[in-house]
Amino acid sequence: MLPIQPDRFLADLHALRKFGAAGVGKGVVRPAFSEPDIAARAWLAERMREAGLSVQIDPVGSVFGLSEGQSLLMGSHSDSQPEGGWLDGALGVIAALEVARASVEAGGPPVSVVSFQDEEGRFGVTTGSAIWSGNLTLDKADGLTDRDGVRFADARALMPDRSDSFVDPSQFTGFLEMHIEQGPVLDREGDAIGVVDAIVGIRDMKITLEGEQNHAGTTPMQGRRDAFQALSRFNMLIAERFANVVTPRTVWTIGHVTLHPNASSIVPGRVTFSMQWRDGDSDRLGRMEQIIRDTAEDVAQSGGFNLTFGPMLGLEPVDMDARLRDALEQAAEADVPGRWRTMPSGALHDATNVSEMMPVGMLFVPSIGGISHAFGEDTAEADLVTGLRVLAEAVDALN
Ligand code: GLV
Ligand code: MN
Ligand code: MN
């Protein structure tokens, strides 16, 4: 068994949380390329160097700690949502760091560590690993903007010490990512570990409807071209039209809305909103896209709105590698017999992109109350340590 040190792992996890600590409980505000994110990445690079790894920060800000020769890559991301928790991504990075340290101390097996940049999609969808894997071209990524109009190209220029080249993936034999579940299943069922069998696919695009801005007191209801009303109608219609297409696991979200000019006494003239949908079946994602596009056209035409669609981003559903999954399952059964399950991931992960280049496996630990992408996200420390142990046991067995 690798000589992992749970106290050192927990201390580093708490130390990482200090970058961008916010809100009540253990909240974090550390979006990609924000000051705390850049500082956290510098801190992480230092921890990697101390562990004997050689650091390479790629052109988009993903931080790699590389072991010599062929190695197993492990990690996740250290950026957060605009309001996030302390474990989403951070757990996988610090667990990987601890396993890498332990393996250096034990004389092997070689483990490299990564924190991908912008997994949380300030600009794209799992942007850093999507670019590394070729799922997103650097050119297309550079043109993407965040919700305040900042371009990815300008944001990544803020990241110091970037290399001119991307890390060569052929040096890695596979990728393991530990993560919190971010859902209610493990917590509700009293299981300590989830071994992931597949990750859902996603589609994401911005939609803009432009009507007519006018006075909220003098403009008769009849004939208004109110952008908020258009969005409201669109939202209602897609729910009706999805009914025969979706399953209970399919999800869709309008999570960000910019209403212009966003004032009580003005009929809003323009709305731009995010439309995101997820499912484990690519065909279904495609059928939903058609419904979304047709419905937006219908709303625009019937109400006299100008309609534009932003760039379409997405990732396909992927299965985990059978050998890595088997190693994780065996380690779970040895460590917490009968208290683990195989399960799909409804959240996205860098592992989806990395699966284009090498075998990938994923491990979940419970999220208390199923809460994530919120300040209240948490996991019992005993469960964090169980996850670390199972991960280390799997790495040992894969050697
Ligand atoms: C990643 O955080 C996701 O949105 O699933
Ligand atoms: Mn995550
Ligand atoms: Mn997340």
How far lies 113's CA from each of 101, 199, 211, in Å? 10, 21, 49
Query: How far, in Å, CA of 397 to CA of 176, rounded?
Result: 13
Query: How far, in Å, CA of 121 to CA of 274, rounded?
Result: 12
- pLDDT single digits (tens) 275-304: 999 999 999 999 999 999 999 999 999 999
pLDDT at 350: 98
Q: Across-strand partners of 336? A: none
Average pLDDT of the chain to the nearest whole number = 97
Compute the average pLDDT of residues 137-166. 97
Q: Residue for token digits 């340290």? A: 101
Pick the atom of ligand 1 nearest to 89's CA: 2
Report the residue count for the chain.
399
pLDDT at 186: 98
Please check the confidence at residue 25 and state whether its pLDDT lies above 90.
no
Question: Using omega within 30 degrees of 0 as the cis cutoff, is the peptide bond preceding 220 cis?
Answer: no
Tell me, in angstroms, the distance from the centre of ligand 1 to residue 242's CA: 22
Q: Across-strand partners of 201? A: 279
Query: How far, in Å, CA of 349 to CA of 169, rounded?
Result: 18
Please check the confidence at residue 399 and state whether its pLDDT lies above 90.
no
**What kind and span of H or E run contains 275?**
strand 270-279
- pLDDT single digits (tens) 89-116: 999 999 999 999 999 999 999 999 999 9
Pick the atom of ligand 1 nearest to 202's CA: 5
Query: pLDDT-based confidence at 24, cuts 50/70/90?
Result: confident
Query: pLDDT-based confidence at 167, cuts 50/70/90?
Result: very high
Pick the atom of ligand 1 nearest to 126's CA: 1
pLDDT at 172: 98
The alpha carbons of the chain give a radius of gyration, in whole angstroms, of 22
- pLDDT single digits (tens) 298-330: 999 999 999 999 999 999 999 999 999 999 999
Query: pLDDT-based confidence at 217, cuts 50/70/90?
Result: very high
pLDDT at 272: 98
Pick the atom of ligand 1 nearest to 349's CA: 1
Residue pair 124/144 in contact (Cβ under 8 Å)? The answer is yes
Q: Which of 89, 93, 135 is nearest to 111 (CA)?
A: 93
Residue pair 65/55 in contact (Cβ under 8 Å)? The answer is yes
Pick the atom of ligand 1 nearest to 278's CA: 5
pLDDT at 88: 98
Tell me, in angstroms, the distance from the centre of ligand 1 to residue 150's CA: 21
Residue 305's SS3 state is coil
Tell me, in angstroms, the distance from the centre of ligand 3 to residue 88's CA: 5
- pLDDT single digits (tens) 51-60: 999 999 999 9
How far lies 275's CA from each of 206, 253, 396, in Å? 6, 6, 42
Tell me, in angstroms, the distance from the centre of ligand 3 to residue 373's CA: 6
- The ligand with the least distance to the CA atom of 315 is 1
Please check the confidence at residue 82 and state whether its pLDDT lies above 90.
yes
pLDDT at 195: 98
Q: Which two tokens stand for residue 212?
A: 């007519």
Query: pLDDT-based confidence at 23, cuts 50/70/90?
Result: confident
- The ligand with the least distance to the CA atom of 181 is 2
Question: Using omega within 30 degrees of 0 as the cis cutoff, is the peptide bond preceding 160 cis?
Answer: no
Compute the average pLDDT of residues 231-245. 98
Nearest CA to ligand 1 atom 1: 348
Ligand 1 lining (C-beta closer than 6 Å)? 120, 347-348
- pLDDT single digits (tens) 110-121: 999 999 999 999
| DSSP symbol at 136 | S
Query: How far, in Å, CA of 96 to CA of 85, rounded?
Result: 19
Q: Which of 319, 252, 318 is nearest to 285 (CA)?
A: 252
Nearest CA to ligand 1 atom 2: 120
pLDDT at 277: 98
Residue 313's SS3 state is strand
Complete DSSP assignment for 19-41: TTB-SSTT-B---TTSHHHHHHH
- pLDDT single digits (tens) 185-196: 999 999 999 999
Tell me, in angstroms, the distance from the centre of ligand 1 to residue 126's CA: 8
- The ligand with the least distance to the CA atom of 125 is 1
How many CA within 13 A on the CB side of residue 145?
Answer: 7
Neighbours of 24 (CB within 10 A): 7
Q: Residue for token digits 């970037």? A: 162
Compute the average pLDDT of residues 369-386. 97
Tell me, in angstroms, the distance from the centre of ligand 2 to residue 171's CA: 24
Looking at the chain, the whole-number percentage of residues with pLDDT higher than 70 is 100
Residue pair 113/74 in contact (Cβ under 8 Å)? The answer is yes
